[in-house]
Structure 1
Amino acid sequence: MQITLLTIGKTDNTQLNKLIEDYKKRLVHYIKFEFEIIPDIKNSKNLSEALQKQKEGEQILAKVSKSDRLILLDENGKQFDSITFSNYLQKHMNSGLKNLIFVIGGPYGFSDALYQRSDGKLSLSKMTFSHQMVRLFFIEQLYRGFTILRNEPYHHR
């Protein structure tokens, strides 16, 4: 199985990028992982929120095939503790799924078309985080989930 994280817009913070790169390298030991950044919509300041969400949604959906499982990182999604999340990952790996895609949307969230196509929603917290921070938190939780599955000590350091 491959896990893909799709995000809108790049991260300008070099310290965050270094941490994200560190966890991406760690994940290679457990699973095929792809982190893909979809460029920001050009001239988005001239677009309504709805139109910007629609255009971002179209770009995201262009990256998704029918057989992919699509999970939106959404504030109204299901919340897991780290152990339950690791079990969630294991369940997907056991299902024979080829690609599990998680999506971090743009500043206004997701389009209706993305919600309709999605196979679920996941929330990291009831708190609000910047989209750049969510990237790091999510990739770290993926790594933590795989260390839990392998019974490695990272989870309890």
Structure 2
Amino acid sequence: MKISVVAMGKMRDARLGELAKEYRERLAHHLPVEDVEVREVRVSGNDVAGALAEEAEAMRKASPEPALTIAMTEGGKQIDSAQLAEWMDGWMVGGQRHVVFYIGSAHGLDRQLIKSCDRRLSLSKMTFPHEMARMMLWEQLYRAMTIIRGEPYHK
């Protein structure tokens, strides 16, 4: 199974970028991984919805098909690390070939993209900068894999 994180924009904070890279590389010892950065669309006037729709189209084009798609959104399901491990284990056992996580820009994700995804997931009820959310997602994916493998990282 391959894991892709398709995210809007570059990791501008070098510290968060290095942490995300570290967890992604750790996970890559167990599964193929891919970090896809999509260029953000500038909001023209107050047309946030239009910009989000453009971003969603770019994210779809950057995503492999077929794949299980997961929107990272504040309205998504909140689960703990062990539950994420159960999801991932189920995907692997079930033969899922590719899982794609979408992380939006500071404006979030397009509503139609969220609706079209197979699942919606939230890291927390709190709001985080999207760069931090990206780093945290990679860490949680790595943590889930260590849970599945019975490794001591998760305590």
CA, structure 1 residues 125+97, in 2 after alignment: closer, same or farther (shift >3 Å)? same
Distance 1:47 1:54 in 2: 14
- 5+ residue gaps, structure 1, are none
Which residue is equivalent to 1:129? 128
CA deviation string 1:50-75 (max 9, x = no partner): 11111001101112355211100011
Distance 2:139 2:63 in 1: 23
Asked if the contact 2:36/2:62 (under 8 Å) is kept, the reply is no
Distance 2:117 2:149 in 1: 29
What is the letter of the counterpart of residue 9 of structure 2? G
Find the residue that maps to 2:77 and give its secondary structure.
strand
Distance 2:65 2:116 in 1: 9
Which residue is equivalent to 1:9? 9
Which residue is equivalent to 2:31? 31
Count residues with an aligned counterpart: 155
- 5+ residue gaps, structure 2, are none
Out of 47-56 and 129-138, give the one that drifted further: 47-56
Find the residue that maps to 2:115 and give its secondary structure.
helix
Asked if the contact 2:6/2:59 (under 8 Å) is kept, the reply is yes
Distance 1:121 1:29 in 2: 26
Asked if the contact 2:6/2:63 (under 8 Å) is kept, the reply is no
Q: Which runs of 4+ in 1 moved over 6 A?
A: none
Which residue is equivalent to 2:98? 99
CA, structure 1 residues 20+65, in 2 after alignment: closer, same or farther (shift >3 Å)? closer
